[in-house]
Structure 1
Amino acid sequence: MIQLQDVDLKLLRVFMTVVRCGGFSAAQATLNVSQSTISEQMTTLETRLGLKLCERGRSGFRLTEHGMATYEAAQRLQVAVESFCADTGALKKQISGKLYLGIIDNTVTDAASPLPQTLQDFVSRGHDVHLDVYIGTPAELEERVLDGRLHIAVGHFPLHVPGLTYTELYDEPDGLYCGKNHPLAGRSADEGSLDEGVASSRVVARGYLQQHDLRMLKASKAAATVDNIEAQAILILSGAYIGFLPIHYAARWVARGEMYQIGPDQFGSRWPFCAIIRRAAVPPTILQVFVIDLMENFHYKCAD
């Protein structure tokens, strides 16, 4: 079992910077040391850990399998150390440190989200706090909260994972859309059943909701699959595909006549958005304060 010392923490910080920058050369400016010094530090770290962390040479910089695992473990260690510093700071009536927040992609246009006001309230408290925000898919956010790389995440999570606590905040409605050049553009339900037109259309499905999307459209397979909402919108705007989008997100293109909602009364769902945290005996103080602000803004929006 490796006993970490101060030197190991310093070397791990160098390693994480190299990974984020994409190589030794690119990390020189950030670390303010020479490439040869970085190389020596990395060699020392690999020797102390007994692991080959990366390949470097003419072919470029690449993490080994052990390197990737070490990087993820180092991220978790960083969160733990910063949570410890924040908690000890709270003993002196100071809340400081980093809050690691995860958010599902493309929710900035959602007026129902309590996050913008929560963030304003949180930082206006005068805390010496640094926010580190990660945008990811539902599965990525759950994984990062579960292994400690994120303190909290907000999004839609179709499957609940053991070890996490899910607190429902609000619902996000979605609808079925096509681009202006699609045969279904501007077609209303009273012009005849839309089922035939939908059935003959290429469907782009969200990877984490693929079975739901196909079931809603009575389609046997998707013609395209995406893992984020922006990619979904690009394919819909092309006029070659139909697919589901959050109503708030699609509104800008609908207003410009570039996108049309198909069968609003026939196709659509409401998705619960939740805040997720890891089940733990005592959450870090910085997280406790953020959750208080989040829930206060959630209840305020519910009262509107």
Structure 2
Amino acid sequence: MTLTEKQERALCVLDDLIDEGIDVTNLRQEIHLSNTYSYDAVRTRLRRAFGSVENALRAYGLYDQTAEPERLELERCFYIDQDYRVSENRYKSEELKELYGISEIKFQQYKKVLLENLEREALDIYVRDTFPYGLKRDYIYKHKLWHVEKYLRNFYGHSVRKLCEEWDFSYELFNDSYSSFYITQGHIFEGLVGEVLDAIYPGRVESQRRIENCIPDFIVNGRHWIDAKLSEKTAFNRASKTFSKYLKHTENLTIIYAQKSDGVYSFPNVTLVHISRYIPELIKIHRSDLIEKINAFLSNLKINIENVS
């Protein structure tokens, strides 16, 4: 259907009303919510352009939806950007709306249903990437991460303590000396794991490669995903969600850890491996230097944890 300039302008009025949150399929009851338009003015404009309000809504794409899209199809219309904001892929959403005859207002209804899970997932990624400093109010304000502020308000009532309880984090990590120790040790251990993997799998290790909303620490041979964690327990903070997301992209996920934790930890299709398990491989390739590094790190980690606790 080719629209005239008058019709295009009339449909822009519907755009404005939808942006104001008004259900344009129920104009008579909803129009009073508009700060810009009156019912009589909108009705007159749509009738002059299309002959009736119903014809205008049909031209806009309402009433003619052919089928319900799958949830996965809708999810593909959104992504989590580098600032942890849930953003819409306009190309994919327009393609989906055209395919199913989805009206703009119906699409916004679909979006509303999806947003809670998507925003929670965005917050999960943000916490994993920036904890603990990223949850401090001055950090959020400095970087203008107002959407992260909204996530914290919606899901935890602005309470970082509640978030720590859910993730099984120690609230003491907000003590700068305590958190600095664990962050530093985590980075050192990740670097050590990288050295070990590079030695055993030369030229076949990728680091920090983003795949959709996943950033595994290492990928070996393009298929084997590996994360480095200080302890088994650390790997299982929100693990079920993290692991399930990773396992959409790989059937081979390994967690290499430095410190054994109390309790039994397991997850389907996830292998937990202590760093010392790689020592026999290092012996075979004559890398005694890395064996010494592993033993020194483990020894120092134990002593330092006792001192900082």
TM norm structure 1: 0.28
Q: Which has the higher contact order (CA 8 A, sep 6+)?
A: 1
More helix by share: 2
TM-score w.r.t. structure 2 length? Answer: 0.28
**Whose strand fraction is larger, Structure 1's or Structure 2's?**
1
